[in-house]
Amino acid sequence: MTSTVAPDIPALFTPAYYQDPFPTLAWLRDHAPVHEFPFPVGDVRTWMVTRYEDVRAVLADSRFSAEGATWGNAEFRAAGLVSAAGTILERGIAVIDPPDHPRLRRLAMSAFTTRRVEQWRGTVHAVVERALDDCERRGAFDVMDDYAGEVSAGVLGAILGFRIERHRELVTALNEAFPSDPALMDRVPAAFGRICAYAAELIDDKRSRPADDLTSALIDATDEGTRLDGDELTGLVAAFIMGGSDTVRGFIGNAALALLDNPGQGDRLRAQPELARSAVEELLRYEGALSTALFRVTTEPVELAGARLPAGAPVIAGLLAANRDPRRFTEPDRLNITAESPRHVAFGHGLHNCIGAALARMEGEIAIPALVARFPTLALAVPRDRVRYIENWAIRRLTSLPVTTSTSRHA
């Protein structure tokens, strides 16, 4: 079995890969676009897909199922790679296919259409301004914890109606729910359990004290006979918590770093805030919060770009790899916030594309220009090589991003 790529290039999902995955992804796109390798957890035979066209094809093809519990081979299931196995999230919206998927997706989508998320614009502005005021008082701050984390938790909390002090516990649970270190696999079930327990607690709370928030609205919709049972409702709220907190935090951090690395682009956005929309699309393409989609498994033997996959094979669609594919994008490694690029796959593609994309875009379009506008002299507070990424195969985000705002005022 192939376990490495070229000798001088980090293998997938190794510490060196997490800090700079791009040489590995470029090599794979060129030499092994459907790359078989042993997944670090359980050494399970897995296929990594890195070209844009192939990634989109996998995510649009029902023979690549999101239902690992149903279609995954014995090796995959035995290694504990079925997402949220043993919890109600094993049948959650992200990991079920038709016929059950549309029923959940339809109800969930009703909350997150572009038109619906407009009602939260004022909330996002308020949360962003409050976080910026706090950062300005600090003078030096961590973009991840003090800004991106405050914005994502603040917005999600306001929308779902939860208490903000619970956010850090949830972030810890999220990190433990998606580990890349085999030694930490034993914490996964408990982490999913905690996320579900919190969602159930939130629903109980809103049942007794309904408020003007999304959780209360979903309870009403469920009670009005949408054929959603109690576990499905809890699973949906848990999915929103998982999908909407660390991802938005990760993206705002990645975007801030991209603009610090490309100061001309940051200056341009500061001078022309009307570029917010195209800037966010480009920043999502350049470095979104997800390196990959969740596992797909083949429902039958499939041939993909010349590779033969057996039934039950785990497949990873490389979203970051696809978004940097020169076969699809011109100069993909260059950030250009005015580019009219083809559609990226930072939110995935097909049946399971991100349900909260419209909200995430709005948060990005408000929070990112506001950060560069408030702090024209924003600069890294640590040497560039001290900026590190978390070691997680699916989520791409920084551990921290320490910055200074103005050496003269806060020295």
Binding region for other proteins (CB under 8 A): 56, 59-60, 62, 98, 102, 105-106, 109-110, 112-115, 342-343, 347, 349-351, 353-355, 357-358
C-beta of 61: minimal distance to other proteins in Å?
Answer: 8
Question: In sequence order, what are the residues at sequence separation of 6 or more whose Cβ sits closer than 8 angstroms to the Cβ of residue 318?
Answer: 25, 28, 48, 49, 50, 55, 291, 292
C-beta of 341: minimal distance to other proteins in Å?
Answer: 10
CA proximity to 397, closest of 98, 180, 81: 180
Q: Closer to other proteins by CB, 59 or 401: give it.
A: 59
C-beta of 349: minimal distance to other proteins in Å?
Answer: 5
* CA distance linking residue 343 with residue 281, whole number of Å: 9
Per-residue CA distances from 55 to 2, 96, 278, 306 (Å): 20, 19, 23, 14
DSSP 245-286: SHHHHHHHHHHHHHHHHSHHHHHHHHH-GGGHHHHHHHHHHH
Give me the residue label for tokens 């009219």: 340
In contact, 146 and 381? CB cutoff 8 Å: no
Q: Closer to other proteins by CB, 66 or 259: give it.
A: 66
CA proximity to 409, closest of 39, 67, 139: 139
Please, is 127 exposed, middle or buried when counting C-beta atoms within 10 Å of its C-beta (0-12, 13-18, 19+)?
Answer: buried
C-beta of 56: minimal distance to other proteins in Å?
Answer: 7
Q: Closer to other proteins by CB, 101 or 166: give it.
A: 101
Q: Closer to other proteins by CB, 102 or 376: give it.
A: 102
Q: Which amino acid is at 104?
A: L
Q: Closer to other proteins by CB, 242 or 370: give it.
A: 242
Q: Closer to other proteins by CB, 343 or 409: give it.
A: 343
